[in-house]
Amino acid sequence: MKFMYTMPVKIIAGEGCLNENRALLMELGRKALIVTGKQSAQKNGSYADAVKALEANGQGFFLYDKVMSNPTVDCVFDAAEAAKRESCDFVLAIGGGSPLDAGKAAAALAVNAVEKDAIFRFSCAGALPIAAVPTTAGTGSEVTQYAILTNHAAQTKTSVASPALFPRFAFLDGRYMRGLSRAVTINTAIDALSHSIEGMLSVRASVLSDPMAKNSIKAIAECFRALKEDEPGLPVREKLLHASTLAGMVIANTGTTAVHAAGYQLTYHRNIDHGRANGLLIGAYLRFVEKKEKSLGTDRVGEILAALGMRNLDEFDAALNGLLGERERFSAAEIEGYAEAAMRAKNIANAAIAPQKQELLAILQNALAPGA
Ligand code: NAP
Ligand code: FE
């Protein structure tokens, strides 16, 4: 059996972990580019904690707080310019996956000369050191080497990937998630679930990634009921956070597959949140895999269902439908366009059972226009 597993991120977890371990930030440099979204970091205590830690260390900082959801290429070049102009020598990225990814991309662009239109094909030789503080429990970006950016030229979302983009430190403090809206909590939990499920269905799944994937699937499924509450409480927040980091450790090694490839289309063209987009597709993808497995004699879907604590995919669909609520409607032309574009994404080939074009079209029809 051949496999590889890499995880260079030091993970520090618990209430107050950023300030209790602020000495670690001293290893990164003298002045931080703090990268955040537009509002939430200022409200949930994460930005204040970061400033406190840096000031106590005697480190300087410059705040770049203009990151939007699904960050654009312009945004990350702007953030990199700020890092250079302000002589920042490390990045402290705080927020959901969008500010974390933008901070990681900016860290790379600050030390690599790249033209904007070459960003998705440049070979990233290095980056400023990065520390990440997630404030959503979903993307796992704090432990991955990916920065996912809106790619207008290709009308999709595309990753910049490099070992240089692994943060040096990830600080996991569930308190920052208190007050996160129910919709974002649900969508991000589904994103993490999708990472672990797709990780298990990847050609790169291994005896190391599988137990991590199964543990995070189990933990997230145990939170399904609590996800419907207005505020699930700190123990649930922490459980979701640890599960999403675990799922990030999975995809850092396995990559994602067809669900993410097609999900990017829903986000790009219909502005559907990343996690929700995956949630709309994953049930139909699992049914496709289950059918194929009958002739292959494997039972990865059975293993996933066991981790979920469910007997069959009907139960899984019912649970997801309960979380997703009313589904968006899509025309036949939209679905055909998504299938065509998703087939060009590099994640497709990553699936152990990769759908052909007509099969992906059928998956998307079943997911997005059932009965049509
Ligand atoms: P997000 O786009 O980072 O944030 C969504 C919304 O939640 C924003 O309005 C944000 O507000 C708000 N928010 C964040 N934390 C909050 C908190 N603690 N309390 C209240 N509001 C909060 O959403 P996300 O789902 O976490 O990230 C999605 C992005 O990650 C996508 O671009 C996706 O492609 C990417 N992703 C990356 C990886 C990877 O490995 N790198 C993996 C999966 C997904 P503010 O704007 O005010 O902060
Ligand atoms: Fe994702």
Would you state the structure tokens that stand for residue 99, as one six-digit string?
Answer: 């500010």
Q: What is the 69 CA–ligand 1 centroid distance (Å)? A: 6
pLDDT in tens, 272-327: 999 999 999 999 999 999 999 999 999 999 999 999 999 999 999 999 999 999 99
Residue nearest to atom 23 of ligand 1 (CA): 96
Residue 255 CB less than 6 A away from ligand 1 = no
Distance 369 CA to ligand 1 centre (A): 27
Task: Evaluate whether residue 218 is within a structural domain.
Answer: yes
Atom of ligand 1 nearest to the CA of 149: 32
Same domain membership, residue 330 and residue 213: yes
Ligand found nearest the CA of 177: 1
Mark whether 154 and 276 lie in a shared domain: no
The number of domains in the chain is 2
326 in the same domain as 220:
yes
108-160 pLDDT, tens per residue?
999 999 999 999 998 898 999 999 999 999 999 999 999 999 999 999 999 99
Residue 327, domain member (yes or no)? yes
Q: Are 126 and 259 within one domain?
A: no
Please tell me if the CB atom of residue 140 comes closer than 6 angstroms to any atom of ligand 1: yes
Question: Closest ligand 1 atom, CA of 176?
Answer: 18
Question: Looking at the domain assignment, is residue 104 inside a domain?
Answer: yes
Please indicate, yes or no, if residue 294 is contained in any of the structural domains.
yes
- The answer to whether residue 5 sits within a structural domain is no
Enter the tokens of residue 135: 């404030």
Q: Give the pLDDT confidence score for residue 139 in this predicted structure.
A: 98
Domain that holds residue 118: 10-177
The CATH number for 275's domain is: 1.20.1090.10
Q: Are residues 171 and 299 in the same domain?
A: no
pLDDT in the model for residue 179? 87
Domain with residue 172: its CATH number is 3.40.50.1970
Last residue of a domain, one of 158, 177, 196: 177
187 in the same domain as 173: no
Is 1 within a domain?
no
Q: Mark whether 173 and 260 lie in a shared domain.
A: no
* Segment (H or E) for 30: none
Residue 123's pLDDT is what? 87
> Do 200 and 346 lie in a common domain?
yes
Q: Which atom of ligand 1 is nearest to the CA of 101?
A: 41
Residue nearest to atom 4 of ligand 1 (CA): 96
Q: Are 220 and 245 in contact (CB under 8 A)?
A: no
Where are the extended beta strands (E) located within the chain?
10-13, 31-37, 60-67, 90-95, 130-134, 146-151, 156-161, 169-172
Tokens at 279, concatenated: 């949630």
* pLDDT at position 372: 77
For residues 54 and 186, membership in a common domain is answered with no
Do 237 and 143 lie in one domain? The reply is: no
Residue 2 resides in a domain: no
Q: Is the CB of 256 under 6 A from ligand 1?
A: no
Residue after which a domain boundary falls, among 145, 177, 209: 177
| 149 within some domain | yes
pLDDT of residue 370: 87
Same domain for 338 and 202, yes or no, is yes
CA of 160 to the centre of ligand 2 (A): 14
Averaged over successive runs of 10 residues, the pLDDT of the chain (372 residues) comes to 94 98 98 98 98 98 98 98 98 98 98 96 93 98 98 96 98 96 98 98 97 98 96 97 98 98 98 98 98 96 98 98 97 98 93 96 97 79
Rounded to the nearest angstrom, the gap between the alpha carbon of residue 362 and the centroid of all alpha carbons in its chain is 26
**Whether 149 and 216 share a structural domain:** no
Residue 207 φ then ψ, to 5°: -65, -15
Q: Which among 177, 192, 219 is the end of a domain?
A: 177
Question: Are 49 and 36 spatial neighbours (Cβ–Cβ below 8 Å)?
Answer: no
